[in-house]
Structure 1
Amino acid sequence: MAKLPGETRKSQFDIRAPHQFRVFHLASWQWYQVLALLLSDVLALAGAWQVARYLNHFYSPLPPQLVWWVWLGMPSLFWIFAAITLIFFAYGRLYGTSNQSHNYVRTAQLVSIVYLLSLVICYFYDPKLDPPRSLFFTAWIGSVFMVMGFRLFITLIFGQFVQKQPQVSVFLIASAGRLKKLAQILKHRSRYKVVGAALASTANTTATLQAILRSGAAEVLAADIPQTELASTLYWNLRRAGIALRLLPSSREILYRRGVPEIFAGLPTLRVETPLLVGWDYRLKRWLDIIGAFFGVIFLSPLLIAVAIAIKLSSPGPVFFCQERIGLYGKVFQMWKFRTMVVNAAELQASLEAQNQIQDKVMFKLRNDPRITPIGHFLRRTSIDELPQLFNVLLGQMSLVGPRPLPVRDVERFEQWHHIRHRVLPGVTGLWQISGRSDIEDFNDAARLDLYYIDNWSLNLDLDILVETIRVVLFGRGAY
């Protein structure tokens, strides 16, 4: 019988079966993150219950029939709720180290499922028992918001710790023309170290698998893997070895990930589902934009006034810099920023074009730009210069999260596929702002991140980008 790719004499069993039982491997800081998330969930649930009990005990206290014991000042019903919720979270991979652990919307869904499930259980336990509705709904809503809030805080804190961890060893698999480019990208990211490489055409061979194991790689970054000849062999071999696999997707594979496996007319297919309430998530996003920008302007008004005074005193010229940017479907609008350059910066740019650090010259970036004022360096490093764009959000010209709107000069140099980014509302922050910001030296890389954002957009992705933006801004990484 012919051997399958990657098969040895000792591997005559289901490829999904592990060599031996093992506890999933996590670094010490990852264990701390898991424990911190677990503790934060318990504290958030307890806090929500305490608030609910305080608000309701005068009017509708918890029936004695539902209090079987009390531990640490909390009734037995709470501990049952908490245990079931934590089990649901663990089953939903909310305590792992993948991006799923940042799925804040999923946490709200699971908390709601537990509370709704409790109504059904309560009915079968005693149909005559009527739990206090005010207590139930207060605890439910409080649990949703407190769990999400605590998790956002934990994500923000541990996101900074991740940057200080030892380098991650990465093995590259790609076509010959793409290997060098991927290696150069990782070279500019201090967290990653390339320990080996192989051609995509050899991805499923025994030689490549052995090379990966010898390299000591913690992760494999792969692109252009053949779609035939058991491409999944690589995934299962790496999974059994405890090595993570990251795929660089094509546009077609992005749609695949949204699909649900389903047999259709005897054929294996992936059905891309339509949500039950079409557009509700986008409408919610726009409401969050307006509410977030409104309260942002109010709470940050002392800072905005202080920065305006500092700019006025530090250099001659206006406080704000207003520039034409390209927005939704190519519509030109005026984008506002705090002025960080000398007044005649636009005229001086022509003489500096030769020093542009962007390889394809689509955007203009200069690390030591002589046009930036002394206070401008601080404003750019902290991204405070972008805060006036909250007014653009209130005017409906921008969103809090989306592809960054670019000047007319940049858009005129676009390739045709770059314009896809104009099919969504531009944002104050976006995916490529948190994935390198000014470190990106090729606009194609930034454009691909924008397309990934568009194809994979969700409310949770927006939340994740906002949290990461706060962390990046606080610690000033990648801005100049």
Structure 2
Amino acid sequence: MAYRSLPVVNLRPDLRSAKGANLKKGIAVRFLRVITLVSLDMIALSLAWTLAINFGTFLESPWTKKPSFILLILIVSIGMIATKSLYSPGIYRRNYTALIKAVTLSEIFLLLIAFLYEPDGYVSRSSFLISWLLSVTFTCTGRLIFDFSTKLLRKKGAIRYPIFVITDPEDRDDYVRFIQKENCYTLEGVVDSESLDRENREATFEFLKRQGIVETFVSWNAIKNRLYICWHFQTAGITLRILPTTDRIYHPKSTLWKIGNIPCLTIPAPIIAGSDFWIKRCFDLCCSIVLLILFSPLYLLIALLVKLDSPGPIFFRQERIGLHCKKFKIWKFRTMVTNAEKLQANLEAENEIKDGVLFKMKDDPRITKVGKFLRLYSLDELPQLFNVLLGDMSLVGPRPLPLRDVEKFQPPHFIRQEVLPGITGLWQVSGRSNIEKFEDAVKLDINYIENWSILLDMRILLQTIRVVLQKTGAY
């Protein structure tokens, strides 16, 4: 069977988690760049203010007498420059027009603060104008000196980013020439797109980490059918840059980056690899504990109703296929007769899912009276909070499926087994049982994996409450 061919050892707990506490590659160089630029701007702004006070018309005020006000000037100005992304790498820090605008806005903002703080005392008009002109001149000069020094050092082979290129052989030479024009990278190697295939992927990322690769350039043709691969780069702490193509492309996690004047997409790595996923797991654990305590009276009531409605156990435990195709027992309140799984074989002909991968019936004769009510409001799923607590499931993720369904998977379907399964997910809030084809459900699962964020999980949880209360697609 296909699912048994997948390895279940030596794997990360989830596609979105890191194997260890990996920092973003090249973070030291980036941190040094930001510190240097901030220091240059602080020197430029302090010098501009001092000269303006000395050479402009002197006016008695706290701004001219107290040194602490220089700190306020620096905080406002540096903050305004930072909001314009002028400490970011590449062309962003060389945007002199934006730098002039940021310094000008900070001067206007300081003028407003001075008016609100002490309307009758700031600095003279001549001091204000000199401060603005010198601030613009000195900060731009500092950037020019920094850029000139950086280019000089890079020509001598210093402060270059070690990079790797993954592309199809026919595009290799063009892309290498294209990247080398930027003159800030050290090319450590080039491989073809097969290195990202499932069987080669782990070895590729181990090699990239051993080589200390900071950024990897991947052609669109090499990644277009493997968009979920971005999680491997992110959890390795490696910035992924998608090389430009004539086709219009877009990925929700991408940001625009320019090499020269040519735009290409970048999927950045977080500062601490896998940090978002571990925040998700902490949220899952805390919420499951709180909800189990809050719902304990409801659990007792449902248990009593299930027991009175039909003979059999209160809970239904079924073997499901979870993360990395590992089997686990899922917990639910029993909503069917006790021999429901045996009866399913006789009902396969009435399956309403067109491709037959899943099994769904709107008027399933195996469902009990109480079971129908529990399913209508998804109350039968509440015991799965125990699965979340045990680490088999998450609050949000692709639904774990029975063995019967997974045996019918095609190879592309197995990507949904690379992340922790969930109680609810994008599939459930986008139609629930009204989805007629498994392929449509898989597309929603892949969409969730590619676009995952903590904010998306929050949205799905809120939508789940709405869908459950409206009884949308429930049976």
Using CA pairs under 8 Å that are at least 6 residues apart, name the structure with larger relative contact order, 1 or 2: 2
Pick the structure with greater CA Rg.
2
State TM-score, norm by structure 1: 0.48
